[in-house]
Amino acid sequence: MTFRREETVWIPESDLEGMSVDTLAVRAGQMRTGELEHSDPIYPTSSFVYGSAAQAAARFGGDEPGNIYSRFTNPTVQSFERRMAAMEGGERAVATASGMAAILSTCMALLKSGDHVVCSRGVFGTTNVLFQKYLAKFGVETSFVSLTDDEGWRSAVGENTRMLFIETPSNPLCEVADIRALADLAHSHEALLVVDNCFCTPVLQRPLEHGADVVIHSATKYLDGQGRCVGGVVVGPEKLMEEVYGFLRSAGPTLSPFNAWVFHKGLETLPIRMRAHCENALELAQWLQQQPEVETVFYAGLPEHPQHELAKHQQSGFGGVLSFRVEGGREEAWSFIDATRMVSITANLGDVKTTITHPATTTHGRLSPEDKSAAGITENLIRISVGVEAVEDLKTDLARGFQALQNQ
C-alpha cells in the first residue's frame, strides 16, 4: 500500500492476481487521492479542465490519456467498471445508465441491419419488447426459443445469426441454460453468446469462464442490493467493449458518477449478501413445497428442479429468486399477495428487502397472451425475491397469504 503521496493513483491490481471474487468485490478498482481517504472518492463533475489549450487539444486528439467529459469517462464510473471487470473475469467493463441501456448498447454496438438474434423466451419482459419492437425496426430480427430446448436452439440458428442472448437462471421460472453448450453453438456459427447474469451476479456464476462472450447486468438489482439506483454494466473482451464504449460515448446512455459510487460500494457486501439470499431462498422454497395451496415451486436449488445438476455444476449457489404457482388464477394470486404485511409489493428484485410480484400483470404484463403462455407466465404465478430478513419472519408473513387462500 502506498502512503504519503500527492497524486491520485489506482491501487495496483497486480497485487490482487489470483484472489477470490470475495476479495475482488472489496479491493479491485480502488483509487486513492492525495488525501489518502480509505473509502472511495466520488467525482460528480460533467467535465474536466486542462492546464493549457495545447493539453486540451492533446486530450481531444487522443495523444494524451485522461478525462475530458463524463459522457466519455469519469473516474468514479471507472472504479465501478474496473471492479466489475475483475469480478466477472473480463478484460473490460462498460457501465451504462440502466440494465436495459446495457442490453441496448450491446446490440447497437455489435449488431447491424440484416443480423439475426436467437433469444431465450423467458427473458425479462422489457428485453423481449426491445428485441421484438425496437430492434426489429432497424432490421435486426429475433427468434425466441425456450431456454432449455437444445434442439430448438440448434434449429433456430441460421446463416445470419450473430447473437445468442440468454438469461440464466431465467426470470421468473428459474430455468437454467447450459452456458458452455450455447457458447459452442454460437461460436460454430460466428455468433456471440451474451448472458444476462443479473440473477446470479459474478459471486455465483461467471459466464465468461464457461465460454460466453459478453456478460450483462442490471446493476439496479443485486449489485446495488439496497434498491437505491438504476444502472447497468457490460463486461467482455477489450475488442468488443471498445465497440460498446464507442456507442455509449456517441449515444449517451452513460452511468452517473453518483450511481456508480453507490454500486461500487454495494459490491463490497455482495458476496455476503448473496450467501444470505441463497440460504433464505432455499429454506423458503422447501417450506413453500409443503404448503397445500402451492401447485409448484420453481427454484434450481430443489433436487427435483429439472436443471438442478447443471445449476450445481455451473453456479456456486442457487440465487435468491424463486417463484411458485398457487391453486387458482389471478384472483388467488392477488389475494395471497395482498394478505402479506411485511414483504414489499414491488417489481424490483435483488434487494435485501424481500419483494413479491405478480409477473403476469407487472414485469411480463406487456407480453402477448401467446408469449406469456409460451414463457410459462401463468396468472397463478407469484415471484419472490428473497431478502435477508430472518427466514422465520418471512414464513410468518407469507403464511398470511396462505391464510387468505384458506378463508376464500
Interacting residues toward ligand PLP by CB under 6 A: 98-100, 124, 167, 171, 196, 198, 218, 220, 230, 232
Rounded Cα–Cα distance for residues 312 and 124 (Å) = 23
**Which is nearer to ligand PLP, 99 or 257 (by Cβ)?**
99
Residue 45 burial by Cβ neighbours in a 10 Å radius (0-12, 13-18, 19+): middle
Q: Of the two residues 193 and 391, which places its CB atom closer to ligand PLP in the complex? A: 193
Q: What secondary structure letter does DSSP report for 350?
A: S
Q: What minimum distance in Å lies between the beta carbon of 196 and ligand PLP?
A: 5
One-letter identity of residue 196: D
Name which of 166 and 391 has its Cβ closer to ligand PLP: 166
Q: How far is the CB of 234 from ligand PLP (least distance, A)?
A: 12
**318 in Cβ contact with 279 (< 8 Å):** no
> By C-alpha distance, which of 324, 311, 125 is closest to 218?
125
Question: Measured from the CB of residue 366, what is the shortest distance to ligand PLP in angstroms?
Answer: 13
Nearest distance, CB of residue 15 and ligand PLP, angstroms:
32
In whole angstroms, the minimum distance from the beta carbon of 297 to ligand PLP comes to 20
Q: Which is nearer to ligand PLP, 32 or 264 (CB)?
A: 264
Residue number of the CB closest to ligand PLP reads 99
Contact (Cβ atoms closer than 8 angstroms) between residue 124 and residue 147: no
Of the two residues 130 and 391, which places its CB atom closer to ligand PLP in the complex?
130
Minimal distance, residue 41 CB to ligand PLP, in Å: 25
Alpha carbon distance 103, 215 (integer Å): 10
Nearer to ligand PLP, 114 or 252 (CB): 252
A 10 A CB-CB count for 139 gives: 11
CB of 80 to ligand PLP, least distance (A): 14
Minimum Å gap between C-beta 327 and ligand PLP is 27
Determine if the peptide bond prior to 207 is cis (ω within 30°).
Answer: no
Distances (CA, A) of 170 to 17, 122, 137, 281, 306: 32, 6, 26, 15, 13
In the complex, minimum distance from the CB of residue 209 to ligand PLP, in angstroms, rounded to a whole number: 20
Burial class (CB in 10 A: 0-12, 13-18, 19+), 270: buried
Q: What counts of helices (H) and strands (E) characterise the chain?
A: 15, 14
Q: Which of residues 59 and 264 has its CB atom nearest to ligand PLP in the complex?
A: 264
List beta partners, residue 294.
326
- Report the distance separating Cα 156 and Cα 144, nearest Å: 8
**Number of other CB atoms surrounding residue 49 within 10 Å:** 8
Angle at alpha carbon of residue 271, lines to 221 and 300, rounded to 5°: 70
What is the CB-side half-sphere exposure of residue 370 using CA atoms within 13 A? 1
Q: How far apart are CA 171 and CA 275, in angstroms?
A: 19
Min CB(129)–ligand PLP separation in Å: 11
Nearer to ligand PLP, 75 or 319 (CB): 319
Of residues 228 and 395, the one with the C-beta less far from ligand PLP:
228
To ligand PLP, the closest distance from the beta carbon of 317 in angstroms equals: 17
Q: Please, which residue, 214 or 405, has the CB nearer to ligand PLP?
A: 214
Query: Does 65 sit behind a cis peptide bond, omega within 30 degrees of 0 on the bond before it?
Result: no
Looking at beta carbons only, is 124 or 324 nearer to ligand PLP?
Answer: 124
CB 101 within 8 A of CB 128: no
SS3 21: helix
Angle between helices 257-268 and 75-88 (to 10 degrees): 40
